Every structure is written in C-alpha cells, then in structure tokens.
C-alpha cells in the first residue's frame, strides 16, 4: 500500500514538472530557437549531465549486453526522440489541442495491447477511467474550436500516441532490470544521437545562450540569459520528471502510469492561468474535474487487481 502510494506520488510529481516545463519552453520558443532545436538541446544536455553523474557515482552500472541493447536503442529512439518529433510535426500542421488529445490516447492503446495482444484481463473500471480521462481532455482542449485536419499531421499525432504508449510499455519492462538513472542515460543517449543525425550540431544557434529572454506574463519585466532557461529545461524539465516517471513505473503498471499522465494538461492549464493569465472556461474546468476523477478510478481499478 505504502509502496504504491509512493509510486503514485512520483508519477504525479513527474506530471507537474512536465507541465511546468511546457510554460518554460513556451518562453524560450519566443526567440528564434525552433522547437526541433529545443528538443535537441533538451535531450543532449540532459544526457551529458546525467551521464557524468552516473559515471562519477557508479560507472559500471551502465554496462549492458547484446540481449538488452536493442531494447535500449528502441527505448531511446521511440520513447524519447519519436514522441517529441511526432508531437512537433503534428502541431505545425494541425490545431495544437487536437494533437494533444491524440497524444493522450496512449493509455487506450496500452490497455488494448494488454487485453488483445498480451491476452490479459483488464478491469471494467479501467475502461471507464480511460473513457472519462479522454472525455475530460476533449473538454479541456475544446477541440471543436478552430480544429482543422491534415493528413500528415493526423498521422504524426497518432504515431506520437503509439510512441508514447511504447515508452511506457518498454519503460515498465526495462526498469524492472535496470536503475532509473542508467535507463534514462541510455534513452537520452540514443535520442541525442538521433537528433545529431537529423539536425547537425554545428548549425545550432549558440547565440541563444547569451540572449536576454523575457519571462512573459506576470514576470514580463524580468529578463534572464537564455542559458538559465535552457538549464532549467534540461535539469528540472527533463532529468527530474523522467526520473520521477520511471521510479513510479517500478511499482505501477504502464496502463495506470500513462493514465496518471493525463494529469499533465490539467496542471499545465493551471500554470498557464497563473503565469500567462490564460483563462479557463466553465467547460474546461468541468473537463479538468473529469480527468482527475478518471485518474482516481484508474487507481482503484489497479488496486482491485491485487
């Protein structure tokens, strides 16, 4: 009981840090730093810092074998690089809210995989929780406003959702045999290699590190160097939340963990309201409540199977 509660707290904390990172990322993206370059510096910076930490602490823990290596490559390329790549392609070609909703169908694909591919029983309450969580996200994003469909964007969004589902499923498998810090190092390492191939480092806009950036919203009069914001994104927006999520996955299933992840857009909306003065409509507030109820039901469904 205490162990599962601890895991749930870790996953909630991961969602909170990821949600806040969205606000910080929006700030740095007001400069000429592209979304793709932000993902690259995020993955590469986090990889380097975490690699140094692990090497100094216990370098031998990074050892792997021929059987595990393909899983680690897939985990990094799909779970880290593909998730973020698919999302950014989707939002450049279609409404952001629809891209977000499609991404958060990941828990549904996980449950379908468990039920029909793995042939394992899934509690009825879990299906109800997924339906509530997805419905709440639809209300929260208000997808009926200005929604447009684009074939490539739609395909990218669904690939993003499948990649996110794979991230949770592979993470659940790998974290059973490996520590969260070394698993994150391997994942970020292969993701960084992918970005180095797609977007060469030598063309990176390094002037962003010294550029003064406004914090927008209620802190609009405050400016900080770009490197401060990027360092926050790398450490507090990448390393810390990924460690939280993987630690939670040690004790909870991929389906429950991904459902708890639905809390992220709700929390992100709260941060946007506080920092950027973005407001919630009544319908969005109702959607937020439905998402939270769905998460609670998912947790009860998990408990009923033990």
Quick: pLDDT tens for 66-124: 999 999 999 999 999 999 888 878 877 776 666 777 887 888 888 888 888 888 888 88
- Return mean pLDDT, the chain: 87
Could you tell me if 47 and 189 are in contact, meaning their C-beta atoms sit under 8 angstroms apart?
yes
Nearest to 106 by CA among 79, 67, 85: 79
Position 73 scores a pLDDT of 95
Place of tokens 């009544």: 282
Task: Give the residue carrying structure tokens 């447009």.
Answer: 148
Name the pLDDT band for 47 (thresholds 50, 70, 90). very high
What pLDDT is recorded for position 270? 85
Predicted local confidence at residue 1, as pLDDT: 67
What does the pLDDT look like over 109-129, one tens digit per residue?
888 888 888 888 888 888 998
Please state, as a whole number, how many other Cβ atoms lie within 10 Å of the Cβ of residue 153. Answer: 21
- State the pTM of this model: 0.84
Range list of β-strands (E), 49-147: none
Mean pLDDT of 122-143: 85
């Amino acid at each position: 009981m205490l162990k599962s509660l601890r895991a749930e707290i870790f996953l909630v904390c991961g969602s909170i840090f990821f949600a806040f990172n969205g606000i910080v990322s929006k700030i740095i993206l007001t400069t000429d730093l592209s979304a793709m370059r932000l993902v690259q510096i995020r993955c590469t910076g986090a990889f380097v810092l975490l690699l140094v930490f692990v090497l100094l602490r216990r370098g031998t823990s990074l050892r792997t074998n021929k059987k595990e290596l393909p899983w680690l490559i897939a985990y990094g390329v799909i779970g880290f690089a593909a998730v973020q790549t698919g999302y950014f392609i989707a939002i450049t070609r279609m409404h952001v809210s629809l891209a977000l909703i499609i991404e958060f169908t990941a828990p549904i694909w996980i449950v379908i995989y468990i039920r029909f591919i793995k042939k394992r029983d899934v509690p009825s309450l879990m299906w109800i929780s997924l339906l509530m969580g997805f419905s709440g996200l639809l209300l929260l994003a208000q997808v009926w406003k200005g929604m447009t469909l684009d074939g490539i964007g739609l395909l990218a969004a669904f690939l993003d959702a499948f990649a996110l589902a794979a991230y949770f499923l592979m993470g659940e498998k790998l974290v059973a045999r490996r520590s969260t810090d070394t698993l994150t190092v391997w994942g970020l390492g292969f993701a960084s290699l992918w970005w180095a191939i797609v977007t060469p480092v030598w063309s990176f806009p390094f002037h962003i590190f010294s550029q003064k950036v406004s914090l927008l919203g209620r802190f609009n009069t405050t400016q900080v160097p770009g490197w401060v914001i990027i360092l926050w994104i790398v450490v507090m927006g990448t390393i810390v939340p990924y460690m939280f999520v993987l630690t939670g996955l040690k004790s909870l299933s991929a389906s429950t963990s991904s459902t708890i992840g639905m809390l992220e857009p709700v929390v992100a909306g709260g941060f946007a309201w506080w920092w950027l003065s973005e407001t919630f409509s009544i319908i969005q507030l109702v959607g937020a409540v439905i998402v939270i109820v769905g998460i609670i039901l998912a947790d009860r469904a998990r408990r009923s199977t033990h």
